[in-house]
Amino acid sequence: MDEEIETNIEQEQEHIEEPALDNSHTSNTDESQLDTDEQELPENQPQQQANPENTITKIDIPNVNTKIKYGLQEDDEWTQATVMGKGGKATGRNKHYVNVQREEDEQKVGIHLDKVEFEVIKNAGSDAHVSSSADANIVFIPVSHHGDNEVVQAKHQELQNWQDFKVYTEVQDHGQKKLSTRWVVTEKTLPNGEKGVKARLVVRGFEEEQQIPSDSPTASKSTLRIVMAIAASQDWKCESIDIKAAFLQGRKIDRDVYLVPPSEVREGVIWKIEKAVYGLADASRNWFFSVKEELLKLNCKQSQLDKALFRWYNNGRLEGVFVMHVDDFLFAGSEAFNKNVIDRVVDKYKVGRREIESFRYVGLDLEQGESGIKVNQDEYVMEKYQ
């Protein structure tokens, strides 16, 4: 069964390209370099790359005052901004460079539109602007509303998470190199209609001078199909789990990183960070290896063809499969698998949503019944193109 799964994955990966899932992180990495976290992984490349000289691809530069959202492929949430002006000549080397003002902190920055993914926000005219992800509609709340009661409460909860997960220790400022932070506040509307304000304290990781390996795998489309096919053939229920404040629950980092705390924290001290928090280059990578270590302790085996796939055997028989897309887990297996693996994972990490049989996973709507598993992307496509 072990060799059969690997062979099926390899055969699936040879199929023609299909509509892309909502993969925020790289899944096609150099597998030989993912065996140990000490080895450096190749840097993740954004989907919109600088064009070769023999390729002609037009990038429409947004007009001044146009609202856009942009981000690298590995970003969980994109940044919303207003275009302030063009930064280069129309035929020059910087023809894709624009100056923008970010919505969340009103800072003016420059970006190369050929080095990031970006979209023009339609019908943007209010203080808060709407974005979307595979599992929720997201409204970014501007700095001017950060004093609202619900935002203050959300910030307090985030700071409490940092304390609960022992993310930092307070130290005296002796002139250490320090990174700054910013608040990213959003209101999310989940598919079930539930709303909630979420505040995330993000480190300005680009201020860190040393080069940090940042790549981390996520399950490929072919692997997801294999997992669902195995679940259907074995009559296992597909389930998904969302981990709360995932990066804050990762393992300790092995370098010294100091932060200037946000204004909501008492003055006179700085923070020494113990975890790879949001904004650091290796945040997703550190989280992946944290989960990998836990699964290997539970006697799971990691796939050699897709490093985000893990299998669990009981007396030589395959009884569980597990894949991860950053903080979203998809799994299926026997009662023994759920007891010996999943229950322990749930005990290890603070879990948000846990859904079974009917749910959305990275842009795929899954519905499992007696006849098998039905998959579609209808709602995801409508959200992207409405």
* Residue carrying structure tokens 């450096």: 40
Strands ordered across the beta sheet of 328-333: 300-302, 309-314, 317-325, 328-333, 239-243, 351-356
Phi, psi of 193 (to 5 degrees): 90, -10
CA angle 115, 120, 121 (to 5 degrees): 135
The burial of 9, by beta-carbon neighbours within 10 Å (0-12 exposed, 13-18 middle, 19 or more buried), is given as buried
Q: Which residues contact 369 (CB under 8 A, 6 or more apart)?
A: 357
Spell 45-65 as b/e; 16+ CB within 10 A means b.
eeebeeeeeeeeeeeeebeee
The helix (run of H) or strand (run of E) holding residue 384 is: helix 378-385
Q: How far apart are CA 204 and CA 239, in angstroms?
A: 35
Tens-level pLDDT at each residue, the chain (386 residues):
666 666 666 555 544 343 344 443 443 344 334 444 444 444 443 333 444 444 334 677 887 778 888 886 555 567 888 888 877 666 677 788 888 888 776 677 888 888 888 888 743 344 444 444 444 566 778 888 888 899 999 999 999 999 999 999 999 999 999 999 999 898 877 666 677 888 999 999 989 988 888 888 888 889 999 999 999 999 999 999 999 999 999 999 999 999 999 988 877 899 999 999 999 999 999 999 999 999 999 999 999 999 999 999 999 999 999 999 999 999 999 999 999 999 999 999 999 889 998 888 888 889 998 888 998 888 777 766 65
Q: How far apart are CA 195 and CA 183, in angstroms?
A: 19
With CA atoms as reference, report the closest residue to 241 among 356, 333, 134.
356
Phi, psi of 293 (to 5 degrees): -60, -40
Task: Give rounded-to-5 percent helix, strand, coil for the chain.
Answer: 25, 30, 45
Helices (H), 46-168: 149-164
Phi, psi of 128 (to 5 degrees): -105, 140
The helix (run of H) or strand (run of E) holding residue 232 is: helix 221-234
With CA atoms as reference, report the closest residue to 203 among 279, 105, 115, 288.
279
Q: Which residues contact 127 (CB under 8 A, 6 or more apart)?
A: 142, 144, 145
